[in-house]
């Protein structure tokens, strides 16, 4: 009987028409939902956010992007709690920008953009927020379905948009004059440090086919968020669909909880990348590990991930702290590495001395608090440069009998090289510091149970 059920589920997965509308990562960068893995206004950093509504509709280069209603949420770095949200209304091929920075001791969100934001900003001021470091969720809630709304958005008629909420059609039905989201959003963030003269640019992760319904809400509403994925199977016993591609094969699966469909699309077994901490270059390297679903208590696996760390030099020698599965206390896996305090955003900072172990520190680039816990006394120092791997334990298991190994994470490597100042031919001094952001490579493992 169990085998018959398994075969039936696989048959449904293979032939159900919902197969083409499955939440998945769009490597081309366009989607209905965007995840910015981090921002920082700490230790002299400022963050410039760009959201563009210029993607092709229905994957055709000749279709125009639809006028869009967008939810923007700023989330904390510790537990992912929301501390600001607002609606943005973007026309075709319109771009909205905002900045997060420190001003007179406060962390400020501001926008110089003319695109309509609700509630309306006070000049350029949008909000003061309680944390210096966090992440950003962007959800495309719907696309304009009539010309009147399209004209208001296109003309930046913010008074007209506000009137729709106060005593207009959206005060009774927020879905009025809207079609489902078109998947035309892309985003990027630039981390700028003026004093250092550095800038790091990262692209937002884009989720395609996130929703096939209008989910337009007023400011302050809990939804939509990453748990709001929806397709034609969501409200049935079949469930919400995910598509995960690995090893040249794409796997469709169905989930009773829409958030699990999103988690499946984001789950990785390992993150891999490089690091440089060469003293001759005054180099710093840190990895930013972001857990987009950690703020949702019902996502599997549990937030308390064990993470295995492996470090090698560029010749592949000097392995330390091999990834492994820790046993129950007191049989703790000696070679496991626990990231931070199981926060929504965590940092791995390379190149620390043995005497720094177990001491609180601030990461050199992002300005993120962390506790150094490697290398240990019985291990070799971190090499000046090399490769590293983080292996995540846990698994997300579908009803069809597939285990998505690891955890839902995003990872970026930040590298910084400091030359301070150089003399120009004219005898002037100019900054000569450099920074780069590199997405960590992902290893995706999906196994049959």
For residue 171, which phi and psi values (nearest 5 degrees)? Answer: -70, -25
Strand, helix or coil for residue 356: helix
Strand, helix or coil for residue 89: strand
pTM: 0.89
Query: Which structure tokens are listed for 257?
Result: 């909880």
> Are the CB atoms for 208 and 31 separated by under 8 Å?
yes
CA separation for the pair 88, 138 (Å, rounded)? 10
Least confident range of 192-201, 241-250, 286-295, 302-311: 302-311
For residues 55 and 99, the model is more confident at 99
Nearest to residue 126, comparing CAs of 163, 167, 73, 76?
73
Residue 317 has a CB neighbour count (10 Å cut-off) of: 10
Given pLDDT bands bounded at 50, 70 and 90, which one contains residue 338? low
What value does the mean pLDDT of the chain take? 85
CA separation for the pair 163, 169 (Å, rounded)? 9
> Are the CB atoms for 352 and 372 separated by under 8 Å?
yes
Percent of the chain with pLDDT over 90: 63
State residue 317's pLDDT score: 80
* Beta-carbon contacts of residue 60 (< 8 Å; ≥ 6 apart): none
Given pLDDT bands bounded at 50, 70 and 90, which one contains residue 297? low
Nearest to residue 175, comparing CAs of 144, 131, 137?
144
> Are the CB atoms for 77 and 194 separated by under 8 Å?
no
pLDDT tens sequence across 131-179: 999 999 999 999 999 999 999 999 999 999 999 999 999 999 999 999 9
pLDDT tens sequence across 25-40: 999 999 999 999 999 9
State residue 421's pLDDT score: 63
Distance of CA 28 to the CA centre of its chain: 15
Query: Which structure tokens are listed for 235?
Result: 């409200």
pLDDT tens sequence across 406-432: 889 999 999 999 876 666 677 676 667
Work out the angle at residue 275's Cα, subtended by the Cα atoms of residues 379 and 25, and round it to the nearest 5 degrees.
120
> Are the CB atoms for 197 and 433 separated by under 8 Å?
yes
Residue 183 has a CB neighbour count (10 Å cut-off) of: 26
Cis ω before 436 (30° cut-off from 0): no
Q: What is the mean pLDDT of residues 96-102?
A: 98
Is the pLDDT score of 104 beyond 50? yes
Structural domain spans, the chain:
21-230, 266-448
Is the pLDDT score of 353 beyond 60? yes
Strand, helix or coil for residue 83: strand
pLDDT tens sequence across 186-209: 999 999 999 888 999 999 999 999
Strand, helix or coil for residue 128: strand
Q: What is the mean pLDDT of residues 242-271?
A: 94
Kindly calculate the radius of gyration of the chain based on its CA atoms and give it in whole angstroms.
23
Query: Which structure tokens are listed for 183?
Result: 């998947």
Percent of the chain with pLDDT over 70: 80
> Are the CB atoms for 23 and 208 separated by under 8 Å?
yes
> Are the CB atoms for 36 and 186 separated by under 8 Å?
no
Cis ω before 119 (30° cut-off from 0): yes
Query: Which structure tokens are listed for 305?
Result: 């991930």
Residue 112 Ramachandran class (φ > 0 left, ψ -120 to 50 alpha, else beta): alpha
Residue 148 Ramachandran class (φ > 0 left, ψ -120 to 50 alpha, else beta): alpha
Strand partners, 311: 320, 388
Q: 172 exposed, middle or buried (CB, 10 Å; 0-12, 13-18, 19+)?
A: exposed
Is the pLDDT score of 9 beyond 90? no
Work out the angle at residue 140's Cα, subtended by the Cα atoms of residues 208 and 118, and round it to the nearest 5 degrees.
165
């Amino acid at each position: 009987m169990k085998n018959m059920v398994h075969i039936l589920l696989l048959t449904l997965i293979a032939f159900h028409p919902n197969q083409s509308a499955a939440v998945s990562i769009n490597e081309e960068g366009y989607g209905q939902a965007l995840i910015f893995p981090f921002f920082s206004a700490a230790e002299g950093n400022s963050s410039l956010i760009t959201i563009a509504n210029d993607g092709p509709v229905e994957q055709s280069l000749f279709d125009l992007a639809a006028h869009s209603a967008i939810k923007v949420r700023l989330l904390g770095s510790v537990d992912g709690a929301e501390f600001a949200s607002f609606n943005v209304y973007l026309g075709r091929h319109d771009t909205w920008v905002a900045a997060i920075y420190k001003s007179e001791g406060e962390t400020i969100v501001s926008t110089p953009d003319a695109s309509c934001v609700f509630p309306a900003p006070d000049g350029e001021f949008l909000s003061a927020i309680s944390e210096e470091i966090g992440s950003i969720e962007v959800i495309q809630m719907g696309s304009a379905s009539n010309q009147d709304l399209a004209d208001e958005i296109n003309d930046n008629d913010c008074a007209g948009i506000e009137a729709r909420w106060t005593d207009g059609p959206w005060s009774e039905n927020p879905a009025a004059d809207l079609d489902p989201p078109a998947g035309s959003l892309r985003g990027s963030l630039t981390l700028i440090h003026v004093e250092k003269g550095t800038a790091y640019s990262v692209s937002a992760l884009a989720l395609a086919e996130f929703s096939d319904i209008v989910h337009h809400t007023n400011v302050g509403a809990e939804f939509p968020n990453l748990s709001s994925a929806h397709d034609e199977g969501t409200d049935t016993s079949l469930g919400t669909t995910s598509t995960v591609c690995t090893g040249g094969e794409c796997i469709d699966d169905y989930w009773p909880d829409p958030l699990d469909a999103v988690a499946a699309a984001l789950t990785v077994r390992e993150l891999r990348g490089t690091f440089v901490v060469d003293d001759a270059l005054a180099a710093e390297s840190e990895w930013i590990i972001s857990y987009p679903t950690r703020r949702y208590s019902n996502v599997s696996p549990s937030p308390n991930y064990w993470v295995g760390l492996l470090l090698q030099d560029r010749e592949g020698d000097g392995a330390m702290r091999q990834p492994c599965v820790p046993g129950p206390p007191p049989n703790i896996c000696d070679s496991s590495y626990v990231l931070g305090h199981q926060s929504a955003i965590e940092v791995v900072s390379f190149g620390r001395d043995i005497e720094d172990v177990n001491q609180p520190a601030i990461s050199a680039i992002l300005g993120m608090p962390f506790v150094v816990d490697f290398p240990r006394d019985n291990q070799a120092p971190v090499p000046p440069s090399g490769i590293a791997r983080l292996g995540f334990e846990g698994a997300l298991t579908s009803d069809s009998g597939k285990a998505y190994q690891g955890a839902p994470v995003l990872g970026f490597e930040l590298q910084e090289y400091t030359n301070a100042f150089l003399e120009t031919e004219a005898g002037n001094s100019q900054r000569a510091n450099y920074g780069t952001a590199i997405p960590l490579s992902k290893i995706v493992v999906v196994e049959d149970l």
